[in-house]
Structure 1
Amino acid sequence: MLNRVILIGRLTADPELRYTNNGTAVASFTLAVDRMRSGPNGERQTDFINVVVWQKQAEIVAQYLQKGRLAAVDGRLQIRSYDNRDGQRVRVAEVVAETVRFLDRGPDQAQGSGYSAAGAQTRQQRPTPSSAPPFEDDPFADDSQLIDISEDDLPF
């Protein structure tokens, strides 16, 4: 059996970060994903999909993603139900993200700073939470420079 969801879209609002009773971080946000085909009148149709991210990745998402940012989400579809305050049973569909990749730079990040699509920190320093380990340098920061590779290094 397979339950895999891959989405690319823009955040409709800033992520909401919460912590469970045992201190586990959980972030939630909604991703606006355009459909491949237009509607009957030629207008673009969009799906608004709820996404949940857990643990350290939730803290990173909450810190660096904002409304309007382009992100890719890879995860699984989860359908859960609960009783609301009025005692009615509510069913919720959401994507539980295994990975979230930042696909663009934030508005306050200049060229050469910020997060790459893989979420690694670039060479320019930025504040990190005291509990967070330092990130590695961005391996793609100097991607405009030529790489010297000999024929012997190629696997094919």
Structure 2
Amino acid sequence: MLSRKYRNVYVFDLKSIVEEKGREQFYSKKLWYLGGIKYSMKAEKLLEQHINRCVASVKGIRKKCLILDLDNTLWGGVVGEAGPEGIELADFKEGARYKDFQRRLKEIKDLGIILAVVSKNNFDDAIKIIREHKHMVLREEDFVALKINWDLKSKI
């Protein structure tokens, strides 16, 4: 692939963007026949967002760190109330959305964005889930910092 061989070549994956939105919503037969415009208005806005993201990335304009809470963010429910077995984090139902969110965060981390946790929780309860829960995608080593205590988040 050219982008691997040359540092100044960037791949804009239009096919993936089309698949994400769906061909029927991405292309507009009406606009094509009226004015030779290939893409729908929704598609043009989506392309603009992706192009802006690419340009910002090339220019180095992007976020460097994502700080996350735990309860109702990385898993469903409040561990202090539900306990480690009572949180929502699974391959199915409500727990699946938290697991999918963690997968996306892992992708973001692998792109170079650092992850941290700031959470009002009992450290032992929270770290047990992070270290041992079978559906936890993100593990302790995925975070540069874990501030899990009862202090004000702004003071941590």
TM range (shorter): under 0.3
Higher strand share: 1
TM-score (norm 1): 0.22
Identify the structure with the greater helix proportion: 2
